[in-house]
């Protein structure tokens, strides 16, 4: 199974192995945790299945969703999309102003999502995003191969 191979690679490079959207797969692979979108399993039910593993929650651009996730002990909060993205259709737009508001209500790690590139990532980090979820800039970049795209983010 590819999940076991990815887990091995993550372990080798000391990177957390999180499964997106599927708590049962995270449990089966003994992953470090999972990420849940708003249409996925409730965090309370997920916690019963994977215990004290990492659970991150997508909160889009909603302080209300963030407060619910914080109350239920999410390990991190993901907000976005901050920019147009080639990965998913953007339904919810988050702004730097929103990121600053979110930071005021939590000390939990914040992940910024959506259309992040070498030209806009620094602004997110400077405004207290702890992590960046970057997909299309690396994997769907017509100008750069993945390794070059990643190097542009340093």
pLDDT in tens, 128-145: 999 999 999 999 999 999
Residues of the chain short of pLDDT 70, as ranges, are: 86
Cβ–Cβ < 8 Å for 112, 133: yes
Largest CA distance in the chain: 44
Alpha carbons 111 and 130: distance in angstroms, whole number: 6
User: Taking the model in full, what pTM does it have?
Assistant: 0.91
Q: What is the pLDDT of residue 84?
A: 80
Query: Would you give the end-to-end CA distance of the chain in angstroms?
Result: 32
Q: What is the pLDDT of residue 13?
A: 95
pLDDT at 104: 96
Q: What distance in Å separates the CA atoms of residue 83 and residue 98, rounded to the nearest whole number?
A: 13
Cβ–Cβ < 8 Å for 119, 140: no
All domains of the chain, ordered by start, with CATH? 17-151 (3.20.20.70)
């Amino acid at each position: 199974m590819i999940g076991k191979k990815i887990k091995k690679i993550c372990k080798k490079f000391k990177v957390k192995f999180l499964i997106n959207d599927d708590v049962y797969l995270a449990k089966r692979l003994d992953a470090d945790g999972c990420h849940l979108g708003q249409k996925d399993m409730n965090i309370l039910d997920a916690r019963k299945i994977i215990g004290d593993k990492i659970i991150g929650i997508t909160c889009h651009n909603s302080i209300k969703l963030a407060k619910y996730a914080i109350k239920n002990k999410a390990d991190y909060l993901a907000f976005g999309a901050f920019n147009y993205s080639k990965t998913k259709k953007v339904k919810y737009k988050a702004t730097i102003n929103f990121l600053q508001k979110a930071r005021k209500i939590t000390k939990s790690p914040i992940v910024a999502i959506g259309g992040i590139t070498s030209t806009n990532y620094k602004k997110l980090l400077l405004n207290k995003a702890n992590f960046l979820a970057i997909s299309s800039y690396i994997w769907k970049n017509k100008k750069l191969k993945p390794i070059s795209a990643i190097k542009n983010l340093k």
